[in-house]
Every structure is written in C-alpha cells, then in structure tokens.
C-alpha cells in the first residue's frame, strides 16, 4: 500500500508525484484531503477524491449557479435531477401512473480522441442511466457539434464526424433502441473539441421506479453489494478527470486510455433482453427494496460510494472479489476504471444467491462475454465510512459523505461584450442564388445522410422519424392500449451563444419547445447539457451563467401548459466544462436543450411536409431584424452580425399554445417552426419533406408582412415563429383558435399542384425556383461536409 506524504513533500515534488500517478487535484485540494482524513492519504484514496472531486463528478464550478437559477420541480415531476435520470408524468393507464424517464449527458472529450468508441460509450452510459431507474429504454437521441469541414482541420473534422456517427449507430442499432435524431452543427470553434451529447428516454410504472440509493431497510437487515457485467480492466481509468481538463493534442495517445470500450451485445442481454428487469421484478414480487446504479465515471468507487451515501450508509468492499480481465491491476485502477456495461446493486444478503442465479445461470453472463458475471463484492455498513480492501490491507478508509459531497468553487464572472456590429449592405439582386447557397450549408441542409444509418423503428413504436417533422415521435405504450405519444427535440444554436450567451440559452429552450409543439405535443419537461470552455476564465464563466439564466427565464416564462406561472421543469442534465484546446481556443457557448413533449393521441400528430394542393399557408410570428448568427449573414457575407433572435416569452407561450390547440382540433395539415435559415428555408423544407420526395409547391406573397423590414431580411430572419398548412374550409376555425390567444395569423399564400416555389412582394417576383434545384442544394450540403 502506497501512502503519499502530502505533509513532507514540497510543491514541486507533489506536482511531479501527481503527474507520475495521473492525479489532477490541485495542491490545495490534496492538502484538503489530508485534512479530512487527519493523515496522509493512500494513493487509492487520492485517486478516489481525484475522481469524485473532478468537475465531471462534483460540479464544483457549476452547482451553485444551477441551484440559483434552474426550476426543477413541478406538478408533473416524479423525480427531479438528483438521481441518474429525471422522471415526469407520462399518462395513466387503468389507474396506473406511468413516468417518462429522461437522461442527458455528454461524451465530448472521448469522442474527440476516439470518435467511434467515445460516441458508442456515450450511448451506452446514457441508456444505463435510464435502465437503472427501473425503466424500459425506448429511445435515444444525439445532438452533435463538429469543426469546420472545409477549414484547415477539415480532414480531421470529417474523420471525427464519420467516426461519431458510426459509433452511435453501431451501438444503438445492436442494442435495439430507436434513434430519434438530434441536431448537428459545424463550425471552427469545434475543430479541437467536438461535442457529442446523448439523450435517452424510458418508460416506467410509478410503482416500479428503483432508486440509486441503499434503502433504509439496510439498517435492520444485512445488505450486500453486487457487481454485474463485464470483468474490470484498465479501460477508462482517469476518465472522470480526463473529461474535466483541457485537451492536449500532444497527449492524445495517452488520453486514449481514458476512453472506455463498448460492448452493446452484452448490454443487450442485461438491458433489452431484461436480465435486469427479471431481478427487479423478482425483488418486487418478494417485497424486497433494493438499490440500483450504473457504473459510469470513476467506476466502482463512484457508483458504490454514491449508492451507499445516498441512503445514509457506508460500504466495505474487497477489491480482490471484483472480477478482473487483466492480471496485476493496481487497486486504484480496480476501484476507478470505467469498464463499460456494469451495474451495482444493493440487495438483502439472503436475496443475493437468487440475484446471482438470475444473471449467471438464467442469463448465462459468463457464456456471453469472458469473465462477465454477477458477484458479491462487499457489504453495506452502518458506519458512514468508505472502506476498500486489497490483498489483506485496507487501502482506503474515508468518511463517505466527504467523498461524495465534492467541493465548491466560487468562480468569478466577467461580462463579455460582442464587438461585431450589424452589417450594412445592399439587398442581393438574385435571392434565388442566395437561397440555394443557404440551403447547401451543412448547418441547414438535410441530415438524412446521418439519420439513414440509424435504426429508427427497431421497437416498432416510431410514429414520426427523424427529419419528418421538427421533433421525432414515438408511441411507447401502444402495446398496453395507450395512444399517448412522446415527442423529442434537441436544440441549441452555437452562433447565438457566441454573440449573446443569455439569448443562446433562452432561444435553445424556446426552439426545443416550438419543435415538439409543431407535431402537436405539449412541452412537458426539459433537460440541459451545458457545454462551455474553461470555467477558471472569467469570461467563460460569465457565458455559462448567462446561458443558464437564459434557460431559466425561458422555462419559467413559457410555462407548463395548463399550469399558469408554473415553469416547464428541468429534470436532468449535465455540465461539460473544459471544452478548450491546449492553445486556449474555447468552443462556442453551447447550451443544448432536449425537450420532451406529450400528446394524448399520437394519431393527431402532424409532420412538416405539405399535404394537399390549394391549402392555405399561414405564418405565426412577426419577422424582425434579428439576423445575428444567421445562416444568411454567414453564407452571404461571411459575418455573424449582432442582432440575435430575442424571445418574447409571452408571445412565444401564446403561439406555442395556439399551435398545440390547432393541431389537436384538426385544422392543421402540416407545421414547421422557423429557425435556421428563416422563413424561406422553412417553406422549402415543407415542400421537400424529409427525403426531398415532395411534389407540391407553394406560392407566397410578402405584401403587408413586417413592411418596415427589407424583403431579404423578412425571408431569412431567424426570429421565432411557425408556418402552418391549413385546409381552406377550416381556416375560420384555425384563425379563431389563435384569436383566443390574441394572435392574428398572417396568410402567406397557398400550396400549389406544381413543383415550384414562388415568392412575391407587392406582386413583384423575388424568387422562383423548381423543386429539383431546391432538392439538389438541400440534399448535398451535409453529405459533402461528411465526405
């Protein structure tokens, strides 16, 4: 057993020891550990605190800001963000309340170093978070951010992008979970740090929810700790701290060891083929209360300490009892490696033999993967200590609450002022060419070249596939006779965040809510993955705080429909800091929001493609001079501008409610929100449909619409809004619905039974372009970027 003599070594000696042993703690943090223990720590203890006090695990820079701003409770919240996943009410069937389980994480650093493995294990980790709540995993999604594919690092960007997509589809498809898509952006701020965010959804009966805490029953009855899954190896060792520091290209090879190795086929047996569910069902049948937690960051050490501490207990674990895939693993590696496809359970000791039999005999884990098994590795103790034993020695004995509570830093926020101004330029004479150029941008163009790899229908519950509408839609309870649908959208524009971090956060929430409303679902809960640079930099921490404040204001002011002045709750999320290269280049502030929407009857949902000729086309939402960060400015001028879209929360709320009601009452044939590329792009996408198979065109007239704004800005402004296709006979009903919300819909024009888009202003033709030209531009942009 090695003890690090904190009290005897000088600062330079400590730094050398830390570097030699992969310790990322600061000198002051290490001395704090020694102070807590009242002695010099063992190397195992130092690694334990190294992981648990990392930014990734402890949220040491962000927690106070999250607690200050985010609304996490609500009348529909069953479980807030305190556990591995949040749960909101989905529906009731035969008097039984069902919950929608939502988890949202990032796997950014690993995916930059090893794209396939990093993305795959991101999916693997997020589905475990949902599974260990007792839920059936029903969907995943993945918002992605990559570098500039045509920039100086273009070849590497394309390698990373294709590797990430491969990792996602290879894992999720093999696992048997449908993919609901997710937005994708390319820009140079992500050259050195791609963002791979992952979302998972599950459904669970409220009575079947399992918590990631040792139950109170352990105070009266002996409880064991059981490890389930792959044998422990050295993969992912240091992963928690790797995710909490800057990426350094010169250390890329050694960083690869911090990336985990996936095995979706073993996960399929544990999760999708219901080995875990069999254990949970058996425990429920017998009336035993158990704890269940997945192994993610910092492996066994993190999962077991948090499981026991959350219940008010301690743990005594023998590392020699942990199945190992490699000889002579160091105790700190056994404790903190992030070997994938593993769970830890706390169960009554007398129940342990049955649990082991389910995994090892009924589901034959040792036959599926060499060394895989379920095994008792320790016990729950009443003393609030975290004890690890190795080869007859106690290599760790720490106060368990000190281990898991982490530390807090009070970071300083320094305002950042955007220096670029709004450009002054003449209106282009050929708006058709401009439109085609905007359509070909990989940030606007079809993502079908990505989605086509995903199995979107594997569980047979998919109603709307990725790209067919602003949100994908599943019917997760159809097998028990419920028509309830769940819509999911993931959003966040990095260009808005760069210009104004507050509105970057607020518009991400608003767009995600608009997107689920566009299929007819009611925004019911959101999650956030907050991707920023180095929080030790005052400007970056300011961007973070402003982004969170924007998210909070949007959630609190758009409201939960049917509950006046009640926020749409934030029930899960993640903070990913240190998305900065060794050269000091930060990613654009990127708060990425996932919004889950619920629709009582999925058969009433709509997609975005135009359905019938001679339908009326309505616009909801005034066009404003808000083109800062727009694709129009970037493609036309190579500039970002300054005036980002600013959400009028009251109008946004009324517009969203009106769209939901209009779709529910059957007057809407198709609906699309306005975002990237503005109204012009939204019209094109409604003409083309998900796979550019549309045959209907449109003729629209801008006369009277935002008359003080130039025509090109009306077309490409990214101010929030909706475009809806309405049957002519139902237009009075449609307009009455919006009049109830004090909104006057603007009649843009009609769908046409010919393959052409015509846009006029005061009877003067601005754009006339055929579907073939539109499709060629729109289908090629992202495909070219990924080539």
Segment 99-129, tens digit of pLDDT: 999 999 999 999 999 999 999 999 999 999 9
107 is catalytic: yes
Distance CA 617, CA 674 (A): 14
298: left (phi over 0), alpha (psi -120 to 50) or beta: left
644 three-state secondary structure: coil
Q: Does residue 356 register a pLDDT over 80?
A: yes
% of the chain residues with pLDDT over 70: 96
Q: Does residue 675 register a pLDDT over 50?
A: yes
Residue 21 in tokens: 């042993």
Q: Does residue 214 register a pLDDT over 70?
A: yes
Which phi and psi (to 5°) does residue 785 adopt? -65, -30
pLDDT at residue 235 in the model: 85
pLDDT at residue 243 in the model: 47
pLDDT at residue 249 in the model: 58
Q: Burial-class residue 281 by CB neighbours within 10 Å (0-12, 13-18, 19+).
A: middle
> Quick one: DSSP state of residue 463?
E
pLDDT at residue 27 in the model: 93
Q: Burial-class residue 36 by CB neighbours within 10 Å (0-12, 13-18, 19+).
A: middle
Q: Across residues 717-744, what is the average pLDDT? A: 98
Q: Across residues 650-673, what is the average pLDDT? A: 98
Q: Are 487 and 90 in contact (CB under 8 A)?
A: no
pLDDT at residue 732 in the model: 98
Q: Across residues 314-325, what is the average pLDDT? A: 97
Angle, CA of 466, 467 and 473, to the nearest 5°: 45
Q: In this predicted model, what pLDDT tens digit does every residue of 195-213 receive, in sequence order? A: 999 999 999 999 999 999 9
Q: Across residues 501-512, what is the average pLDDT? A: 99
Q: Across residues 225-246, what is the average pLDDT? A: 76
The H or E element spanning position 381 is strand 373-381
Q: Does residue 543 register a pLDDT over 80?
A: yes
Q: Across residues 562-584, what is the average pLDDT? A: 93
Residue 781 in tokens: 């942009």
Residue 707 in tokens: 């008359």
Q: What does each C-alpha distance from 554 to 516, 559, 561, 570, 573 come to in angstroms?
A: 15, 8, 14, 11, 16
Q: Burial-class residue 193 by CB neighbours within 10 Å (0-12, 13-18, 19+).
A: buried
pLDDT at residue 633 in the model: 98
List the catalytic residue out of 107, 109, 390, 672: 107
Residue 47: pLDDT band by 50, 70, 90 thresholds? very high
Q: Are 442 and 149 in contact (CB under 8 A)?
A: yes
The H or E element spanning position 551 is helix 538-558
Q: Does residue 371 register a pLDDT over 50?
A: yes
Residue 280 in tokens: 């949970």
Largest Cα–Cα distance in the chain? Answer: 88
Q: Are 627 and 717 in contact (CB under 8 A)?
A: yes
Residue 266: pLDDT band by 50, 70, 90 thresholds? confident
Q: How many CA atoms lie within 13 A of 71 on its CB side?
A: 24
DSSP characters for 326-343? STT--HHHHHH---SSEE
Q: Across residues 61-70, what is the average pLDDT? A: 97
pLDDT at residue 582 in the model: 77
Q: Residue 725, Cβ neighbours under 10 Å: how many?
A: 24
Report how many helices (DSSP H) and strands (DSSP E) the chain contains, helices first: 28, 27
Q: Are 759 and 767 in contact (CB under 8 A)?
A: yes
119 three-state secondary structure: helix
List the catalytic residue out of 56, 104, 211, 672: 56
Q: Residue 265, Cβ neighbours under 10 Å: how many?
A: 12
% of the chain residues with pLDDT over 90: 88
Q: How many CA atoms lie within 13 A of 781 on its CB side?
A: 24
pLDDT at residue 244 in the model: 47
Q: Does residue 519 register a pLDDT over 90?
A: yes
612 is catalytic: no
pLDDT at residue 255 in the model: 45
Q: Residue 604, Cβ neighbours under 10 Å: how many?
A: 17
Distance CA 134, CA 128 (A): 10
Q: Are 226 and 343 in contact (CB under 8 A)?
A: no
Q: Which domains does the chain have, with CATH numbers?
A: 211-406 (3.90.650.10), 606-787 (3.90.650.10)
List beta partners, residue 395.
none
Distance of CA 121 to the CA centre of its chain: 14
Distance CA 560, CA 153 (A): 44
Look up the pTM and report it. Answer: 0.94
Residue 254: pLDDT band by 50, 70, 90 thresholds? low
Distance CA 24, CA 245 (A): 8
> Among 59, 69, 62, 164, which residue's Cα sits nearest to residue 509?
69
């Amino acid at each position: 057993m090695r003890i690090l003599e904190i009290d005897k070594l000088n600062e330079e000696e400590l730094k050398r020891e830390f570097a030699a042993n992969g310790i990322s703690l600061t000198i002051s943090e290490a001395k704090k550990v020694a102070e807590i223990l009242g002695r010099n720590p063992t190397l195992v203890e130092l690694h334990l605190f190294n992981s648990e006090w990392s930014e990734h695990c402890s949220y040491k820079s962000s927690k106070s800001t999250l607690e200050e701003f985010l609304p996490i409770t609500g009348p529909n919240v069953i479980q807030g963000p305190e556990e591995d996943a949040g749960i909101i009410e989905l529906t009731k069937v035969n008097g039984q309340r069902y919950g929608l389980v939502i988890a949202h994480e990032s796997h950014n650093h690993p995916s930059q170093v090893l794209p396939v493995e990093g993305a795959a294990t991101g999916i693997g980790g997020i589905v475990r978070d949902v599974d260990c709540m007792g839920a059936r995993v029903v969907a995943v999604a993945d918002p992605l951010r990559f570098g500039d594919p045509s920039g100086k690092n273009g070849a590497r960007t394309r390698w990373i992008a294709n590797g990430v997509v491969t990792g996602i589809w290879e894992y999720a498809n093999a696992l048997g979970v449908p993919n609901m898509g997710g937005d994708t952006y390319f820009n140079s701020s992500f050259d050195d740090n791609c963002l791979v965010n992952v979302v998972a959804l599950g459904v669970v009966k409220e009575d079947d929810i399992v918590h990631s805490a040792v139950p109170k029953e352990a105070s009266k009855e002996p409880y064991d700790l059981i490890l389930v899954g792959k044998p422990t190896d050295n993969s992912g060792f240091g992963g928690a701290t790797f995710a909490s520091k800057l990426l350094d290209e010169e250390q890329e090879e050694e960083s690869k060891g911090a990336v985990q190795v996936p095995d979706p086929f073993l996960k399929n047996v544990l999760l999708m083929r219901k080995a875990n569910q069999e254990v949970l069902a058996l425990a429920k049948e017998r009336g035993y209360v158990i704890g269940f937690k997945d192994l993610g960051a910092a492996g066994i050490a993190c999962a077991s300490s948090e499981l026991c501490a959350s219940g008010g207990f301690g743990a005594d674990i023998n590392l020699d009892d942990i199945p190992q895939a490699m000889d002579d693993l160091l105790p700190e590696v056994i404790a903190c490696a992030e070997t994938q496809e593993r769970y830890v359970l706390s169960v009554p000791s007398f129940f342990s033999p049955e649990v082991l039999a389910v995994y090892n005999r009924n589901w034959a884990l040792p036959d599926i993967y060499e060394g895989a098994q379920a095994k008792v590795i320790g016990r729950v103790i009443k003393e609030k200590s975290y004890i690890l034993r190795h080869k007859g020695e106690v290599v760790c004995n720490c106060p368990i609450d000190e281990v898991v509570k982490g530390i807090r830093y009070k970071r300083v926020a320094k305002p950042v002022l955007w220096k670029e101004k709004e450009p002054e330029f003449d209106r282009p004479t050929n708006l058709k060419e401009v439109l085609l150029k905007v359509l070909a941008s990989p940030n606007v163009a079809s993502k079908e070249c990505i989605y086509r790899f995903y199995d979107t229908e594997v569980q047979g519950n998919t109603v709307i596939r990725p790209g067919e509408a602003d949100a994908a839609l599943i019917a997760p309870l159809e097998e028990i006779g419920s028509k309830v649908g769940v819509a999911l959208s993931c959003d966040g524009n990095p260009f808005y965040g760069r210009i104004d971090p507050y509105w970057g956060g607020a518009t991400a929430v608003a767009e995600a809510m608009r997107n689920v409303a566009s299929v007819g679902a009611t925004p019911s809960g959101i999650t956030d993955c907050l991707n920023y640079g180095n929080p030790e930099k005052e400007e970056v921490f300011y961007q973070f705080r402003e982004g969170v404040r924007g998210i909070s204001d949007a959630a609190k002011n758009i409201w939960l429909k049917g509950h006046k002045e009640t926020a749409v709750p934030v029930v899960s999320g993640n903070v990913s800091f240190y998305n900065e290269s060794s050269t000091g280049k930060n990613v654009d502030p990127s708060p990425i929001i996932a919004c889950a929407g619920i629709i009582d009857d999925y058969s009433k949902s709509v997609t975005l493609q135009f359905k019938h000729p001679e339908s009326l086309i309505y616009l909801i939402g005034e066009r404003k001079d808000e083109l800062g960060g727009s694709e129009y400015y970037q493609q036309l001028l190579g500039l970002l501008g300054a005036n980002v879209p600013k959400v009028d929360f009251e109008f946004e709320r009324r517009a969203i409610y009106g769209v939901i009601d209009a779709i529910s009452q059957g007057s809407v044939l198709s609906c699309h929100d306005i975002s990237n590329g503005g109204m012009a792009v939204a019209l094109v996408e409604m003409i083309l449909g998900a796979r550019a198979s549309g045959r209907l065109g449109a003729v629209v007239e801008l006369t009277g619409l935002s008359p003080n704004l130039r025509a090109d800005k009306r077309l490409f402004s990214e101010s929030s809004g909706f475009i809806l296709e309405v049957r002519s006979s139902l237009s009075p009903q449609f307009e009455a619905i919006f009049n109830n919300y004090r909104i006057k819909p603007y009649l843009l024009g009609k769908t046409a039974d010919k393959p052409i888009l015509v846009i006029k202003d005061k009877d003067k033709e601005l754009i006339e372009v055929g579907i073939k030209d539109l499709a060629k531009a729109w289908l090629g942009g992202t495909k070219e970027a990924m080539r």
